[in-house]
Amino acid sequence: MDKFTTLTGIAAPMPLVNIDTDMIIPKQFLKTIKRSGLGVNLFDEMRYNLDGSEIADFVLNQPAYRKAEIIVAGDNFGCGSSREHAPWALLDFGIRCVIATSFADIFYNNCFKNGILPIVMPQEVVDILMADAKKGANARQTIDLIGQTVTTSDGQVFPFEVDGHRKHCLINGLDDIGLTLEKAAAIDSFEKKNAALHPWA
């Protein structure tokens, strides 16, 4: 998993509430167990017409936001079914951070496990960040995970809270496997002692 320390990037404004996981990655794309290749189908039904052509007014199809790395969204982002493909698709597109007033619990947890930082902010701050994002590609926002701040393109700074353990994992690029491997020496030591004490096991 890629490390996350600071990110300065384009923020795409998505002022919608209840963006669910089926909107993020529709069910027909859940057959794969690969984490790559899903970005092209991110928000598929919102991005494309039935003939496969792009819907021009969808934010991620607009030239200013095609390389967005941040999404500023409405309340209850990631609700719906508990599909891990949703953060996979966001990450494969290039999204590393989502800012909203609230997230669905399972989606929120899955983001951290896949290298995406979900940030909960009060509505008045989200409104400011949303307005800033609407300025386009030149209005880049900065996410500082170490300092736990979001900075707008015009220099307004807003602090955010994040669980210390999850922060540690993102900064060091540790998913569940990586966390286990951090304890590799202790695991090896236990296995050797256990084998000596219980050679029949």
* Residues pairing with 79 in the sheet: 20
Residue tagged 């004490």 (tokens): 197
Report which of residues 2 and 73 the model is more confident about.
73
Per-residue buried b or exposed e for 172-182, using 16+ beta carbons within 10 Å of the residue's own CB = eebeeeeeeee
Residue 179 pLDDT grade (very low, low, confident, very high; cuts 50, 70, 90): low
Distance CA 82, CA 103 (A): 12
**176 pLDDT above the threshold of 70:** no
Locate the domains of the chain by residue range.
6-197
Is the domain spanning 6-197 CATH 3.40.710.10? The answer is: no
pLDDT value at residue 169? 95
- What are the pLDDT digits (tens) for 129-166? 999 999 999 889 999 999 999 999 999 999 999 999 99
Mean of the pLDDT values across residues 155-182? 86
User: What percent helix, strand, coil does the chain show, rounded to 5?
Assistant: 40, 20, 40
Distances (CA, A) of 30 to 7, 100, 102, 165: 29, 25, 25, 29
Mean of the pLDDT values across residues 84-113? 97
Q: Residue 121: phi, psi to the nearest 5?
A: -130, 150
**194 pLDDT above the threshold of 70:** no
- What are the pLDDT digits (tens) for 43-76? 999 999 999 999 999 999 999 999 999 999 999 9
SS3 88: helix
